[in-house]
């Protein structure tokens, strides 16, 4: 089909057929996910479906990354399940609205750029952990309720039928792109397995076995909760965590899709879009959510690159809920399970395993730890936070060992210390060990032309060092310090040689500036 200008991105050309077919594929895959996550949060299935519609539609129109899919997610479900059990859905809706406001504020204050602080090792760990979660979550589909209503592994013919349909789905997804890319492989697999089941009358699990998806347009609803400070105390901690989890997962997904599509999204715009979507979701009976890496990969791998695919997915999801529930509830779960397993396989960073021997040990440890925390706790935000903290500590430790001092005495008996490496809280001990205050000559020069004073701990170390030299009645000169360093040193006028043409202009990290 001829490419035409996208209605929403005039700088980008898009293939309408590809976008619509990709969106249809995503819509089908969204249904079991949204229902499952709503159940995790102890909410009705429609609460998850309405959230998937609102989140998907708003972020597709306003988001900072065309082609990325948002909806109800497990990360958000895990956060709000405690509140759902203790206070009910009305408090959930209010929490979702408040979380949306916090996310908009994060975008307005341009906090989206903080995602740049996440190292590649953490991203590898996050992606690998999420891939394992996606895969293991599909294992429940191989179980069926027994007479007591408890899930247990299928056996015999039902298991062989289900497993066979899953394998057929995976085979089509793997093999069809090798023959043609005209039609999305995931959608082709779903339709093929659906046709086989219907034509041969095969008895197997379908979407309707999970829950009914029949409903109307999401009803506008103002949360019925007491407007009081006590209510705010209840919902604010959940809203704050939900906002943080949602933004971390969304911005990491944005970065990953950026790498796949070799383009660049806008993090702060995505923050505002996620917040706006959550506000709408809360007022339209949804549980809220964030970007979904698995669904986004389905969309992108189907060839979608613009906003139309996300809009199509959201609109088709609503059409299924309002008009097509009877048909969609007959879609075999085996087909959707096969799609998600292939998503898990495609999500996993297999290249990270090949480069383990080439990566620094600290990066390997961080990657494995983030993966483990993600799998065990199902808390993506906590896993990323732990990874960032450990990476920062490792970075500080490595830089603390890099500070050096080259020493020499000139013909006039003046001793010079030429400092190399950053002076900050981690390197203070090594810095102080370089000086022999008691045995140094009467005049000493410390040259910082190859160094940098990073924080207030470095400034305080310089203050204490000058006091030690003054205690022995020795004259100390500090060269090549930035202007703010000179201002922050208590006795700057007495000890600093000003080199206006050579001094650096960086700023020291301090709240006193």
Q: Where are the domains of the chain?
A: 13-370, 401-497
Task: Give yes or no for a contact between 14 and 6, defined as CB atoms under 8 angstroms apart.
Answer: yes
Residues 363-376: pLDDT tens digits? 888 999 999 988 88
Residues 107, 511: Cα–Cα separation, whole Å: 23
Residues 337-383: pLDDT tens digits? 998 898 888 888 888 888 788 888 888 889 999 999 888 877 777 88
**Which two structure tokens, joined as six digits, stand for 414?**
């003046």
Phi, psi of 64 (to 5 degrees): -90, 5
If DSSP codes are grouped into helix, strand and coil, which group holds residue 286? coil
Task: Give yes or no for a contact between 285 and 52, defined as CB atoms under 8 angstroms apart.
Answer: no
Give domain 401-497's CATH architecture: 2-Layer Sandwich (3.30)
Residues 437-459: pLDDT tens digits? 999 999 999 998 888 888 888 88
Task: Give yes or no for a contact between 202 and 196, defined as CB atoms under 8 angstroms apart.
Answer: yes
If you write DSSP's letter for every residue of 193-236 in order, what string do you get? Answer: HHHHHHHHT----BGGGT------SPPP-------SHHHHHHHH
Average per-residue pLDDT for the chain? 88
In this prediction, residues 309-315 reach a mean pLDDT of: 96
Phi, psi of 496 (to 5 degrees): -105, 130
The pLDDT value given to residue 494: 59
- Least-confidence region, from 88-97, 121-130, 227-236, 309-318: 121-130
Residues 115-150: pLDDT tens digits? 877 888 888 888 888 888 888 888 989 998 887 778
In sequence order, the β-bridge partners of residue 445 are 416, 477
314 pLDDT tier (thresholds 50, 70, 90): very high
**Please, is 157 exposed, middle or buried when counting C-beta atoms within 10 Å of its C-beta (0-12, 13-18, 19+)?**
exposed
Residues 289, 51: Cα–Cα separation, whole Å: 7
Residues 289, 58: Cα–Cα separation, whole Å: 12
pLDDT at 97 over 90: yes
Residues 494-508: pLDDT tens digits? 565 544 445 666 667
The pLDDT value given to residue 1: 38
Residues 451-488: pLDDT tens digits? 888 888 888 888 889 889 989 999 888 888 877 777 77
């Amino acid at each position: 089909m001829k490419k035409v200008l996208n209605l929403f991105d005039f700088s980008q050309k898009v293939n309408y057929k590809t976008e619509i077919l990709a969106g249809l594929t995503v819509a089908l895959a969204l249904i079991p996910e949204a229902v499952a996550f709503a159940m995790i949060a102890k909410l009705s299935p429609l609460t998850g479906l309405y959230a998937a519609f609102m989140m998907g539609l708003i972020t597709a129109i306003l988001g900072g990354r065309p082609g990325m899919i948002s909806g109800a997610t497990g990360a958000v479900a895990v956060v709000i399940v405690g509140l759902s059990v203790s206070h009910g859905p009305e408090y959930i809706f209010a929490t979702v609205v408040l979380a949306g406001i916090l996310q908009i504020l994060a975008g307005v204050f341009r906090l989206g750029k903080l995602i740049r602080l996440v190292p590649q090792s953490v991203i590898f760990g996050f992606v690998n952990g999420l891939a394992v979660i996606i895969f293991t979550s599909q294992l429940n589909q191989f179980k069926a309720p027994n007479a007591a209503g408890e899930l247990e592994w299928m056996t015999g013919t039902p298991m062989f039928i289900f497993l066979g349909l899953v394998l057929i789905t995976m085979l089509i997804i793997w093999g069809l792109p090798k023959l043609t890319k005209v039609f999305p492989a995931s959608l082709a697999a779903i339709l093929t397995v659906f046709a086989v089941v219907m034509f041969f009358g095969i008895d197997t699990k379908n979407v309707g076995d999970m829950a009914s998806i029949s409903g109307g347009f999401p009803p506008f609803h103002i949360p019925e909760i007491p407007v009081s400070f006590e209510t705010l105390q209840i919902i604010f901690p959940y809203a704050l965590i939900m906002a943080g989890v949602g933004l971390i997962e969304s911005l990491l997904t944005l970065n990953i899709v950026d790498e796949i599509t070799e383009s660049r999204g806008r993090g702060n715009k995505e923050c505002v879009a996620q917040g706006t979507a959550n506000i709408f979701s809360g007022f339209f009976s949804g549980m809220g959510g964030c970007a979904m890496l698995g669904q986004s990969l389905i969309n992108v791998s189907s060839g979608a690159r613009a906003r139309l695919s996300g809009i199509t997915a959201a609109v088709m999801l609503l059409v299924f809920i309002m008009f097509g529930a009877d048909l969609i509830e007959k879609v075999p779960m085996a087909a959707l399970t096969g799609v998600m397993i292939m998503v898990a396989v495609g999500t996993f960073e297999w290249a990270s395993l090949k480069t383990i021997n080439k990566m620094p040990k600290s990066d390997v440890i961080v990657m494995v730890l983030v993966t483990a925390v993600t799998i065990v706790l199902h808390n993506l935000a906590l896993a990323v936070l732990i990874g960032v903290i450990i990476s920062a500590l490792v970075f500080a430790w490595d830089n603390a060992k890099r500070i050096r001092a080259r020493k020499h005495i000139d013909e006039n008996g003046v001793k010079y210390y030429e400092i190399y490496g950053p002076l900050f809280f981690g390197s203070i001990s090594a810095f102080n060990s370089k000086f022999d205050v008691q045995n140094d000559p009467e005049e000493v020069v410390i040259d910082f032309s190859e160094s940098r004073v990073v924080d207030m701990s470095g400034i305080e170390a310089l203050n204490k060092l000058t006091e030690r030299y003054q205690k022995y009645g020795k004259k100390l000169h500090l060269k090549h310090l930035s202007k703010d360093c000179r201002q922050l040193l208590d006795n700057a006028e007495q000890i600093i040689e000003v080199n206006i043409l050579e001094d650096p202009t960086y700023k020291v990290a301090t709240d006193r500036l």
